Amino acid sequence: MSRIGKAVIQLPEKVEISVSKGNEVTVKGPRGTMVRQMDHDMIIEVKDGTLEVKRPTDQKRHRSLHGLTRSLISNMVEGVSTGFKKELELIGVGYRVSNTGNLLELTVGYSHPVYFYVPDDIKVETKSEKGKSPTIFLESSDKEMLGLVATKIRSFRKPEPYKGKGIRFVGEQIRRKAGKTAAK
């Protein structure tokens, strides 16, 4: 039995949730509203400030959707109540970042700057201090969109294993390789 699927979701005070026909889940909270269509077979019950996801049978398809549905709804509830954050840092000589609204300008070792427009539902902030690596702060209520945008920004210059230069998540460990040894 799915351990994740069996877990009950506790709804925070300021969060309202409604399930319409066809299992369309709407979650409203202080940070906005999210709507997502869930699989029509899953049974979603809301009672007394808790939400529970049940599956109709023990078929393989229903077992695999059970935990997924519960996790998606849990992320929606957490997103509209507290939100999600990601931080990326640029490691390398001459690497810079700045933003004008949601337009991000990255200088990461190419002959030209890289421009990237971040979707409107994601809040972007950049910080460059002397002696520290430039940092990009991303904040959103949609965990899936936030992860996609963060990995897209990281893909502009992935960290390389020899010097460790590139764009990485704060706290990410990069496996380093030894370079060529000097000839005798």
Across the chain, mean pLDDT equals 92
Which helix (DSSP H) or strand (DSSP E) does residue 79 occupy? Answer: helix 60-81
120 Cβ contact list (under 8 Å, min separation 6): 102
Work out the average pLDDT over 28-39: 93
- For the chain, report the end-to-end CA distance as a whole number of angstroms: 62
The lowest-confidence range among 103-107, 144-148, 180-184 is 180-184
**63 within 8 A of 2, measured Cβ to Cβ:** yes
**pLDDT the model gives residue 183:** 58
Band (pLDDT 50/70/90 cuts) for residue 184 is: low
pLDDT band at 181 (very low <50, low <70, confident <90, very high): confident
- Of 155, 154, 173, residue with least CA distance to 164: 173
Query: 84-169 adopts what CATH topology?
Result: Outer Surface Protein A; domain 3 (3.90.930)
Predicted pLDDT of residue 179: 83
Long-range contacts, stretch 36-41, CB < 8 angstroms, 24+ apart? 36/72, 36/73, 36/76, 38/69, 38/72, 38/73, 39/65, 39/69, 41/65
| 3-class DSSP state of 62 | helix
Contact 81, 74 (CB under 8 A): no
Domains 3-81 and 84-169 share a fold: yes
Indicate whether 34 pLDDT > 70: yes
Q: What percent of the chain has pLDDT over 70?
A: 97
Secondary-structure class of domain 3-81 per CATH: alpha beta
Q: Which of 104, 105, 96 is nearest to 122 (CA)?
A: 104
> Average pLDDT for residues 100-114, to the nearest whole number?
94
Q: Where are the domains of the chain?
A: 3-81, 84-169
